[in-house]
Structure 1
Amino acid sequence: MSKFLNRILGMPVELQNRLFKYFTDTLTAVMEQAKRSGRFDLGILDLGSAGEVVRRVRLVRFLRRHATGRAPVELHTVHSERGMEWSEALEKWSELTGPKEGFYLSTQARNNKYTAVLCVAAHSNTKKEKLTKKDIMFQIYRPNTGLQLRLESLAEIEKKYRKVESGEAEAAWRAQYNASLRVCSHAYWRDQCRNAADCEVGRRVRTWHVLAGSVLAVWARVEHVLAARSQLNKMQVVRIKTTDSLKIVGTVIPKNCVEPLKEALASDAVSVSEQTFEHTDGLK
């Protein structure tokens, strides 16, 4: 990267800009392709540190013998809840002062439903005296997924949405928030999803299966199960902090690999125990 930047410094500024844009566009395309094919390394995934509510649902502990004694391998099932309730959105909205900040509603309906979002002005480092709509950036909050990682410009927002009062946004916000507990985005916006039972795209609550503990001792077995049933080429490491202050670091196990992995680990375990955690909010 540094070699590339140093070499283009000798070119005219306009050509530098064109080359750099070509480079960034190509890099973005390569990354998107890698994400679609499962070859993109996301590093360590953090759950519970960015506002999500993470609750334990089930724990299966496999006690195994090794050269110097016994050690447990644990398969955790957790629910992570994101999203923003209407009361939270109103509280956030009450703090806003900018003329373009506030609730927006999509200009076009999909499946007779509208999208409601909350736009909050993002801090800008630009030194331009006069900002265009493309320069003014906003943080976007959605009812089903909460704060979005990607900022959007005012120009992008006004292409898709119109600014409304809170009362006009409430019905759409509440509808998507409530539906997203069990319904994916495909089913919500199109009334159908080819994988409706397991699809978690856009859902407020997501299920994660995480293998932790003495994982190295069973690594070959885990790789064998995942290679046979999962299209992912790389394992995702996750770091979790639950609502009961438990910290878990482990490897994400795809849903279709959970049962085969449990069978493989139980086959020569000294003992297998299972614990279920009950919650009063309907997340089980």
Structure 2
Amino acid sequence: MLTEGQKTQRRRVHVTLELPWSADRAIQQFGRTHRSNQTSAPQYRLLFTNLGGEKRFASIVAKRLESLGALTQGDRRAGPSLSAFNYDSTYGKRALTMVYRGIMEQDSFPVVPPRCSDNQASIEEFITEAKVALVSVGIIRDATVCNGKVAGKLSGRIVDADMHDVARFLNRLLGLAPDIQNRLFDLFISILDVVLHNARREGQLDSGIVDIKGKNIELKEPPKTVHVDSLSGASTILFTFTIDRGVTWESAKAMLDGRENDGAGSSNDGFYESKREWMGRRHFTLALEGSTEGIYKIIRPAIGEALREMPLSELKGKYRKVSSIDKVSKGWQDEYDVSSKQCMHGSKCKVGSYCTVGRRLQEFNILGGLILPVWGTIEKALAKQVYQNHKRIRVVRLVTTNDNQRIVGLFIPNAAVESVLTGLQWVQDIND
């Protein structure tokens, strides 16, 4: 136990070599080193292999920790390594249903399965392997081999109770060979990313307190006092920031060169070009292997490092490696320049100048200071917005680049600023 009376005050590290089957027992173990009279909380390190099925253990513990409340609800940085592996959620259940429907050929996959090409034959081969695997672990029941036009194909059914049971899916993966186990798990994660992206785009994803990141974050203009409480005299303040999220070609090239010079990279590190065109052009990305073998950090010209790392199978499925430096530098610079003025949807985007998807330079508004007394007014103003992702209240946090000023408050979309300020002025007039 590390207390004030002890001579050594170094922070402790609790290493778990194998997670217990019960999440409650894991919490009990953590509690043995996390006590009320400690001077600092220990760091927890959970060790497990990269096999898809073994991640079930981390999923169980993460779900239990999240149910404790404030650990991850109040500050999402409190336990990001755990919540990142909690797949047994509403979005996880939705993603699993899409996986099963794709394997049973009731619907098409929203992504290309791992190590498959756009060629339908390779996808059908994967589906056949997946069916055999799921039959072997009892997820697909009443399996039969078809005759006639679809002779040789495997048919069967997945009961309704299993369609949303993420825990059972991860549990049964443990009984599969590593290759198909990882391919099925990668497919599940890729589809989950699509589900989360759609929820985020529609403004339905609850992310807690969101940290706003960028290469350069600066105040665009002096903060404005937009409301003063008549009783306390406290102010509500509008901060407007300019955020540059991009990575220049020179910086990207330096990242890759640094890895190669240090001998820390892998043979798959490098620049990649998308196999498909988007809005009339192909896009470029830099992939660097992360701390886990076969998992890559993705850096893009417009938005910098992506939040999610990408498995090698998905990387090679969506992109092809480019050896021509001239080709990459031109494509990278073009995307860097274009993204300063428009979103990734192009000049014909339905949202117009208010869309920030894939835009490098952004204007970002945060309402700080006194918030609770005017919460209802802000909520009503946002509810009037046309687009769904502009209606949701989000708590954000950022730090300016030059002076390290930390701001926490409510994110106000550009399209909603006028409506919010009008509502606050109306409240001010009533109070006066």
Q: What TM-score results when the alignment is normalised by the length of structure 1?
A: 0.74
> Retained in 2: the 8 A contact 1:41–1:234?
no
User: Any stretches of 5+ residues in structure 2 without a counterpart?
Assistant: 1-58, 65-164, 261-265
Q: What's the CA shift for 1:84?
A: 0.4
Pick which of 79-88 and 104-113 moved more.
104-113
Q: 1:181 aligns with which of 340, 344, 363?
A: 340
In the other structure, the counterpart of 1:114 is 282
Structure 1 residues 2-34: Cα deviation after superposition (integer angstroms, max 9, x where no partner)? 4985999699935xx79x969979976764564
> Retained in 1: the 8 A contact 2:226–2:235?
yes
SS of equivalent residue, structure 1 residue 140: strand
Q: What's the CA shift for 1:173?
A: 0.5
What amino acid sits opposite 2:209 in the alignment? I
> How many correspondences in the alignment?
252
User: Any stretches of 5+ residues in structure 1 without a counterpart?
Assistant: 126-135, 271-284
SS of equivalent residue, structure 2 residue 229: strand
SS of equivalent residue, structure 1 residue 77: strand
1: CA distance between counterparts of 2:212 and 2:278?
Answer: 31
In the other structure, the counterpart of 1:47 is 212
In the other structure, the counterpart of 2:256 is 93
Q: What TM-score results when the alignment is normalised by the length of structure 2?
A: 0.51
**For the structure 1 residues 192 and 260, does the alpha-carbon distance in structure 2 shift closer, same or farther, using more than 3 Å as the test?**
closer
**Structure possessing the higher radius of gyration over alpha carbons:** 2
1: CA distance between counterparts of 2:172 and 2:313?
Answer: 34
Note if 1:149 corresponds to 2:312.
no
In the other structure, the counterpart of 2:370 is 214
Q: 1:201 aligns with which of 353, 357, 368?
A: 357
Structure 1 residues 140-191: Cα deviation after superposition (integer angstroms, max 9, x where no partner)? 111111111222233333332233142331100100001110121111xxx6
2: CA distance between counterparts of 1:172 and 1:26?
Answer: 28
In the other structure, the counterpart of 1:164 is 323
Pick which of 27-36 and 71-80 moved more.
27-36
SS of equivalent residue, structure 1 residue 186: coil
**For the structure 1 residues 193 and 33, does the alpha-carbon distance in structure 2 shift closer, same or farther, using more than 3 Å as the test?**
closer
Q: 2:226 aligns with which of 62, 80, 87?
A: 62
Query: After superposition, where does 1:265-276 map in structure 2 within 5 Å?
Result: 265-267=424-426, 269=428
SS of equivalent residue, structure 1 residue 141: strand
**For the structure 1 residues 155 and 62, does the alpha-carbon distance in structure 2 shift closer, same or farther, using more than 3 Å as the test?**
closer
**For the structure 1 residues 185 and 7, does the alpha-carbon distance in structure 2 shift closer, same or farther, using more than 3 Å as the test?**
closer
SS of equivalent residue, structure 1 residue 258: helix
**For the structure 1 residues 107 and 38, does the alpha-carbon distance in structure 2 shift closer, same or farther, using more than 3 Å as the test?**
closer
2: CA distance between counterparts of 1:267 and 1:12?
Answer: 60
Q: What's the CA shift for 1:115?
A: 1.9
Query: After superposition, where does 1:203-282 map in structure 2 within 5 Å?
Result: 203-229=359-385, 231=388, 234-243=392-401, 244-267=403-426, 269=428
**For the structure 1 residues 29 and 119, does the alpha-carbon distance in structure 2 shift closer, same or farther, using more than 3 Å as the test?**
closer
Structure with higher RCO (Cα < 8 A, 6+ apart): 1
What amino acid sits opposite 2:208 in the alignment? G
Note if 1:13 corresponds to 2:182.
no
2: CA distance between counterparts of 1:7 and 1:170?
Answer: 43
Which protein has the bigger strand share?
Answer: 1
> Retained in 1: the 8 A contact 2:227–2:424?
no
SS of equivalent residue, structure 1 residue 39: coil
**For the structure 1 residues 32 and 106, does the alpha-carbon distance in structure 2 shift closer, same or farther, using more than 3 Å as the test?**
closer
Q: What's the CA shift for 1:240?
A: 1.5
In the other structure, the counterpart of 2:273 is 105
SS of equivalent residue, structure 1 residue 211: strand
2: CA distance between counterparts of 1:62 and 1:82?
Answer: 28
Structure 1 residues 241-269: Cα deviation after superposition (integer angstroms, max 9, x where no partner)? 11332211101112232112212222454
Identical-pair percentage: 26
1: CA distance between counterparts of 2:189 and 2:313?
Answer: 21
Q: 1:38 aligns with which of 186, 200, 203?
A: 203
1: CA distance between counterparts of 2:169 and 2:327?
Answer: 54
What amino acid sits opposite 2:370 in the alignment? S
In the other structure, the counterpart of 1:278 is none
> Retained in 2: the 8 A contact 1:47–1:80?
no
Q: CA RMSD in A?
A: 3.5
SS of equivalent residue, structure 1 residue 103: strand
2: CA distance between counterparts of 1:137 and 1:24?
Answer: 13
2: CA distance between counterparts of 1:71 and 1:242?
Answer: 24
**For the structure 1 residues 208 and 43, does the alpha-carbon distance in structure 2 shift closer, same or farther, using more than 3 Å as the test?**
same
